[in-house]
Structure 1
Amino acid sequence: MGGNALKNVVTRRYARDEYYLLKERLLNKLEGHIDKYDVPKEFPCKESFGDLDVLMVCPLSINIEHLIEDLFHPAEIYHNGDVYSFDFEQFQIDFILVEKNIFENAIVYLSYSDLGGLIGNICHKIGLKYGIQGLWMNVHTKEFDPTTTSTKLILSTNVKDIFDFLGYNYEQYIKGFDNENEFFQWIIDGKYFCSIYFDDNQLNHAHRQRTSKRPIYIKFREYLNIKDLLNNSINESTEDQNELIRIVREKALIYFNKQQDYDKGLNQRQEKRLFKDKYNGRFFSDIDGKNHMIRVHMENFQRRIAKTDEEFHQWVLNTDNDIIQSEIDKYKYELKQNQSS
């Protein structure tokens, strides 16, 4: 993923033909050791490669570092999260570990250098999120207010369903793209593509910094310029954009049959906020002036009221604020009496 993870060993770029030979040798070595593995799709016309990404579902019984050492005898292994980078015949290999249920989508996301990044940028603008985990939306306590807390609602991990909803030709993806221009046009033909989403003026500083280092993103913008699409982009008002987001999110909930899950998630966020408003550490901050004991007092009070966390949670939600305060005052009074006796 990037070709620059290894710092203590010399690696080089591979020409197309030698890359394909290396890939075949490496994948053959994995046979019989890893049941599910694959390589993201690549442009057949790409002339050289800086690394090889191999996605895999690794059984718990296998120590992946030991497997790498036994099969490939690298001079260096670099572990970062779910990615294990190592050298093999002077070339960087990245083993990317993913869960079985997101394997197919992860392959798609990383295909053609940055398919997922381009689609993800579009999804972000229409109120959705797209990543290795699939398509999802953040359910905020207050709609259109990203400053409020949120929960993650997975819409789908099925590639075809995701592409169908976003208006991408799944059959064309399966067939493959002969070159970058075919791929770029496929992105543009999506239902929710809008050229202004790729206008640098619409990106924050952090996003501009990231995209400036992604070659395929730069080439995509060049393609948009050639097509004169960036110059013809139209700024939408915040109200128009919010209306689009609302419509897309509503359509997504219906399409993926997630309305009930959305309502449940929203209720959970609202309940959590209500719970914190009605019961929090400030009610106990005046006991002995010892802030480090607040959590202890809260736990003791909870055990006084209910046997389980769920029972206490429901008690707080269903009980009037004055009664909660009265019970806390009783707890404080009895605590003071016990301390003075």
Structure 2
Amino acid sequence: MGGNALKAGSVRLPAARYREVEHHAVTILQQHFPQRRIEAVMAYADKADFGDLDILIEADNDYNSRQFADALQATEVVANGDVTSIGLAVAEGVFQLDLIRTEYDSFDFASRYFGLNDFGNLIGRIAHKFGAKFGHLGLLYPMRDPDNKDHLIAELCITRDFGAALDLLGYDALLYEDMRATGQFKALEDIFLYVVSSPYVNREIYLLDNRNHKARIRDAKRATYNAFLLWLDEQDVIQLPAYAWAESGTPARLEQKQAFLEMAFARFPDFKLAHEQALEKYARRKQVKQQFNGALVAEVTGLSGKELGELMAQIRNSFADETSFENFFLDTDAEAIKARFLQEAAALSS
């Protein structure tokens, strides 16, 4: 994505010519793979030229990007995770086409997230401030270990309904769908005006100096993101929302995140249930770890190093499944647990 993945480079195509190539490529793929959903990513109406073409491909267990590349007689193939960039021979030279592997249940969300240049990325800044993640897979909620913020416990789906996600982030979802369907996203400014229509917007959250290093490096290279920053500078600040985001890590910021979480719970009961189950699972595993850890097993058996590691693995593998393993350490008294350690140690050395 971005038109710079090919060794041969990619020509830029004027809009009219791009539409011809887009129609041709999508038609060929749909003819070869009629059982799959295949869709070109939407661009704003007045975009003058294009450096690449993004096509979403509905994926399953049999997905093989090389088949799609072969159908288009690719001159070059560069795989990078879920995106496979190919060279497409056109009269003007070689044009980059990106095949984006897309799961069935997130296809509609991905179609909208990737569309309209950096639209999804800009919307995602608000989700990020709330502790959520707005991406091609849906609106997700990364749950982190309360004792170690670097440890991800689970990544839960709040919703894969794009409109519902927009609504939760303060946007008019019906307006978005109407503008999308009727071609009202004509220029970048139309996209920018919609992005700043949420009451949670504050220009400060978009400034590169306020981003982490990875995001700053990535977005500094994105033409549309930089155009948005310039556009913000040109606006009357009085007319822009200026939500009072609290400083990261402060009690006020935690309150803002918690308020968002409670709102998500109220609107998406399945998410609330998944969150509760994830917390229960985390608490359960934390309790098990107090009864089964390297320091305790070493103290009881006197083993260390490689032998200790082998014993730990043998103890875990001696149970029929993870549930049986956890139940044993949750329901068994300390002396019986020590006896199990010694029994498995004896079996290992015999």
Give the shorter-chain TM-score range. 0.7 to 0.9
Q: Alignment partner of 1:223: what SS?
A: helix
Is the 8 Å Cα contact of residues 202 and 241 (structure 2) preserved in structure 1?
no
In structure 2, relative to structure 1, the CA distance for the partners of 1:325 and 1:217 (3 Å cut) is same
Aligned to 2:2: 2
- In structure 2, what is the Cα distance between the partners aligned to 1:235 and 1:158? 26
Whether 2:261 is the aligned partner of 1:253: answer no
Q: CA deviation at 1:121?
A: 1.6
Amino acid at match of 1:181: E
Whether 2:59 is the aligned partner of 1:49: answer no
Whether 2:201 is the aligned partner of 1:202: answer no
Aligned to 1:14: 13
Amino acid at match of 2:226: I
- Superimposed CA distance per residue, residues 290-340 of structure 1 (whole angstroms, 9 cap, x where no aligned partner): 522324323444566x544322211102234454235434655x569x76x
Q: CA deviation at 1:76?
A: 0.9
Aligned to 1:292: 306
Is the 8 Å Cα contact of residues 145 and 151 (structure 2) preserved in structure 1?
yes
Query: What is the aligned counterpart of 1:129 among 128, 133, 139?
Result: 133
Is the 8 Å Cα contact of residues 50 and 91 (structure 1) preserved in structure 2?
yes
Matches within 5 A, 1:257-276: 257=269, 258-276=271-289
- In structure 1, what is the Cα distance between the partners aligned to 2:217 and 2:86? 27
Query: What is the aligned counterpart of 1:314 among 323, 327, 333?
Result: 327
- Superimposed CA distance per residue, residues 85-135 of structure 1 (whole angstroms, 9 cap, x where no aligned partner): 111112111111111111111111111111221111210111211111101
In structure 2, relative to structure 1, the CA distance for the partners of 1:115 and 1:268 (3 Å cut) is same
Is the 8 Å Cα contact of residues 141 and 266 (structure 1) preserved in structure 2?
no
Q: Alignment partner of 1:249: what SS?
A: helix
- In structure 1, what is the Cα distance between the partners aligned to 2:50 and 2:297? 61
Amino acid at match of 1:215: A
Is the 8 Å Cα contact of residues 105 and 160 (structure 2) preserved in structure 1?
yes
In structure 2, relative to structure 1, the CA distance for the partners of 1:31 and 1:244 (3 Å cut) is same
Q: Alignment partner of 2:32: what SS?
A: coil
Aligned to 1:68: 69
- In structure 2, what is the Cα distance between the partners aligned to 1:292 and 1:187? 55
* TM-score normalised to structure 2 length: 0.86
- In structure 1, what is the Cα distance between the partners aligned to 2:173 and 2:241? 28
- Superimposed CA distance per residue, residues 203-234 of structure 1 (whole angstroms, 9 cap, x where no aligned partner): 22222111111111111111221114399956
Aligned to 1:182: 190
Whether 2:237 is the aligned partner of 1:236: answer no
Aligned length: 333
Query: What is the aligned counterpart of 2:150 among 147, 151, 162?
Result: 147
Is the 8 Å Cα contact of residues 46 and 187 (structure 2) preserved in structure 1?
yes
Is the 8 Å Cα contact of residues 29 and 68 (structure 2) preserved in structure 1?
no
Q: CA deviation at 1:267?
A: 1.1
Matches within 5 A, 1:106-117: 106-117=110-121
- Superimposed CA distance per residue, residues 213-270 of structure 1 (whole angstroms, 9 cap, x where no aligned partner): 1111111111221114399956634222211111001111111112222111011112
Larger relative strand fraction: 2
- In structure 2, what is the Cα distance between the partners aligned to 1:157 and 1:125? 19
Unaligned runs of 5+ in 1: none
Farther off after superposition, 74-83 or 165-174? 165-174
- Superimposed CA distance per residue, residues 53-75 of structure 1 (whole angstroms, 9 cap, x where no aligned partner): 00011455564313422x32222
Amino acid at match of 1:43: Y
Query: What is the aligned counterpart of 1:328 among 319, 341, 345?
Result: 341
Aligned to 1:278: 291
Farther off after superposition, 207-216 or 97-106? 207-216
Q: CA deviation at 1:32?
A: 2.3
Amino acid at match of 1:2: G
- In structure 2, what is the Cα distance between the partners aligned to 1:202 and 1:93? 33
Is the 8 Å Cα contact of residues 196 and 235 (structure 1) preserved in structure 2?
no
Is the 8 Å Cα contact of residues 128 and 249 (structure 1) preserved in structure 2?
no
- In structure 2, what is the Cα distance between the partners aligned to 1:202 and 1:10? 33
- In structure 2, what is the Cα distance between the partners aligned to 1:148 and 1:109? 27
Is the 8 Å Cα contact of residues 285 and 291 (structure 1) preserved in structure 2?
no
- In structure 1, what is the Cα distance between the partners aligned to 2:321 and 2:209? 52
Runs (4+) of structure 1 exceeding 6 A deviation are none
Matches within 5 A, 1:22-61: 22-34=21-33, 35-58=36-59, 60=61
Q: Alignment partner of 2:149: what SS?
A: coil
Aligned to 1:102: 106
* TM-score normalised to structure 1 length: 0.88
Unaligned runs of 5+ in 2: none
Whether 2:62 is the aligned partner of 1:77: answer no
Amino acid at match of 1:78: V
